[in-house]
Amino acid sequence: MSALYTVLGTLVAIGVLVTFHEFGHFWVARRCGVRVLRFSVGFGTPLLRWHDRHGTEFAIAAIPLGGYVKMLDEREGDVPADQLGQSFNRKSVGQRIAIVAAGPVANFLLAIFFFWILGMLGSQQARPVIGAVEVGSLAEQAGLRAGEEILAVDGEATPGWGAVNLQLVKRLGESGSIEMLVRDEESSTETLRRIELDAWLRGAADPDPLASLGLRRWFVQAPPLVHEVRKDSAAQLGGVQKGDRLLSLGGEQLESPEAVVAVARSFAGQRVELRYLRGEQELSAVLQIPADPKVVERLGYLGAVVAYDPLPPYMLREVSYGPLEAVGEGLRRTWSMSVLTLDSLRKMLLGELSVKNLSGPITIAKVAGASAQSGIGDFLNFLAILSISLGVLNLLPIPVLDGGHLLFYLIEWVRGRPLSERVQTWGVQIGISLVIGVMILALANDLGRL
């Protein structure tokens, strides 16, 4: 079933985002009097095609990895004399800039729309209450304590843990201080704490901001609950069933889902005793812990999917907006994610963030499937973030991308004449090399994660 969600989620995501991006180019081109020859979603052999009254061919092609809008252009072939006025290259610099910029702008508008819907639908978020602070950690040095609720990070309100993580991700690779406004649950006193950073997680391939600071979320103090048992795994052979609670493995207490994974990994290839609770009855079994076949390192694999108990109602917060408020929330979130995307790219170029954080088509497909399976809210949020990424990346001043064309047209506007064909050709060749290099790197990262 998860494979089906992955396929359908990926196709829907690509279809929606690419169609809307290309429709931006198409709509503005039509308004500027440019004749559009073809509007294609996908590349390669058309699976479905039709024409409108203007003679534009619309196609859905076999390779769903993008799309394009083909316009009448003298640089790509002969244009009849009576159609020269409808040629893209004959339009003013301002019109050409508008047509090219319309694709990324459409992606930003789509993200605002999705965030607007999400704002009105509302969400139930876990209050960001600190469950524990590690001894000697950055959080402890700043004076943070268990039981305090994080109200804001660097001046931005944090109604849930998602907002806390987003604010922390913005500071990756930096030095300075993170300001956290916290409230003590017992006294209701609000206090500003400062966490001092020094090249914080610079170059980390898989950063975990909360763990790095020494913070743990509040959770129900109960042994982790088994939600699923993998077929033919050590857990299944030991008799573990859905609904059991794991107590210990090899004599080490299992107090959280993270502990289950960590402890199991340390016992690769060993026979150890697993103790677990079924109802009121405590059971035990001696298991042979195999090495996880998905990783190169010899790490133990128990095969039990575990999670925290559901949070009590008083630890949850409903966050929703009215129709007008949701517009502002959509604009704010779109701007914030756009800035974060650009800043992350800057940090990668400067070495403050590892390039291993780049994701390619495999990771995108996995996240698409997981978010689709999780529900409409999570899937819309994924589409909004991916649409922003598509918009930002397309605006980068790299020839072959929309941003590269905009750069050429801006230079033409300043100079009063376009760059020579030779210079533009060089630019395109460099741009293609850069794009292919980044795609190979992202794909290599995806394969590494597998």
Report the distance separating Cα 128 and Cα 156, nearest Å: 13
DSSP E strand boundaries for 134-220: 148-153, 156-157, 176-184, 190-197, 215-217
Task: Write out 222-247 in H/E/C secondary structure.
Answer: CCCEEEEECCCCHHHHCCCCCCCEEE
Instruction: With residue 362 as reference, give the H or E element that holds it.
Output: helix 361-374
Contacts of 37 (CB under 8 A, 6+ apart): 55, 56, 57, 70, 71, 72
Report the distance separating Cα 28 and Cα 62, nearest Å: 26
Question: In 10 A of CB 177, how many CB atoms?
Answer: 14
- In the three-class reduction of DSSP (H, G, I as helix; E, B as strand; rest coil), residue 192 is classed as strand
- In the three-class reduction of DSSP (H, G, I as helix; E, B as strand; rest coil), residue 40 is classed as strand
Report the distance separating Cα 194 and Cα 224, nearest Å: 33
The label of the residue with tokens 């095609």 reads 49
Q: What are residue 27's phi and psi, to 5 degrees?
A: -65, -45
Report the distance separating Cα 324 and Cα 320, nearest Å: 12
Tokens of 99: 């047509």
Question: In 10 A of CB 160, how many CB atoms?
Answer: 18
Contacts of 374 (CB under 8 A, 6+ apart): none
Which DSSP string corresponds to 313-359? GGGEEEE---HHHHHHHHHHHHHHHHHHHHHHHHHHHHTSS-GGG--
- Annotated catalytic residue: which of 22, 148, 149, 329? 22
Report the distance separating Cα 447 and Cα 450, nearest Å: 5
- In the three-class reduction of DSSP (H, G, I as helix; E, B as strand; rest coil), residue 110 is classed as helix
Q: Are strands 176-184 and 57-71 parallel, antiparallel or unpaired?
A: unpaired
Tokens of 184: 């003590």
Q: What are residue 341's phi and psi, to 5 degrees?
A: -60, -45
Active site residue 22: yes
Catalytically active residues, by annotation = 22
